[in-house]
Amino acid sequence: MCTARRCIWRPLQSCSSTIIRQEIPRRAKEDVEITRRLKECGEMLAIRVLDHVILGAGYYSFSDRGAFMRDYINIGTVPCDEDCAQVGQEGYREQAVKECRRFIELLRKTFGDEPEGARLPIKWFDHDFGSYCEVVCWYDTEDEKARDYAFRCENEMPLTWDGGRREQLKFSSG
């Protein structure tokens, strides 16, 4: 018996992205639902599903049809004027996750909850000195509200835990 956890996600533990190949054509409606669920599961595991390709009597790529228009922006671990946990220090993982969760709360307090098509999860990245995490904003590239929310989080994020924000730079012509 092949469960999705054993056949799909376990071999991908160290991957940041994947393409899913299906060799048994099903009804289109089922394929769309399966693809949606695989993308959601991948996001929960910080694995980006780039495409779901179906091979059979022909070839079908969800990405070619515009169904995978998702991207993310790295926001950071904490507001940029604050100190954060350092990779390699004792208790890093637990402290970094706490900081990221607190930062997500601050972002939501500042910009409101994510609109449909956007999400603020914690994503892990590999580094020479060990894995580290950051808050990212996943967004649907075709959804203007989701895209605007992601770029606001990046460009107007609070600089401190108390919500201090950078003033817009004003240039004089002279």
Name the token pair of 37: 């669920």
pLDDT at site 129: 78
Superfamily name and number for 15-61: Cytidine Deaminase, domain 2 (3.40.140.10)
**Residues 107, 135: contact at Cβ < 8 Å?**
yes
Q: d(Cα 33, Cα 67) in Å, to the nearest integer?
A: 12
Structure confidence at residue 7 as a pLDDT band (50, 70, 90) = low
Q: What is the pLDDT of residue 136?
A: 92
Say what the pLDDT of residue 57 is. Answer: 65
Would you say residue 42 has pLDDT above 50? Answer: yes
Q: How far apart are CA 7 and CA 51, in angstroms?
A: 17
Structural domain boundaries of the chain?
Answer: 15-61, 70-155
Identify the H or E element spanning 103: helix 92-111
Q: Give the range among 48-52, 131-135, 142-146 with minimum mean pLDDT.
A: 48-52
**43 vs 162, more confident:** 162
Q: What's the pLDDT score for residue 105?
A: 96
**Cross-strand pairs, 119:** 138
- pTM value is 0.60
Percentage above 90 pLDDT, the chain: 37
Quick: pLDDT tens for 89-106: 999 999 999 999 999 999
Strand partners, 92: none
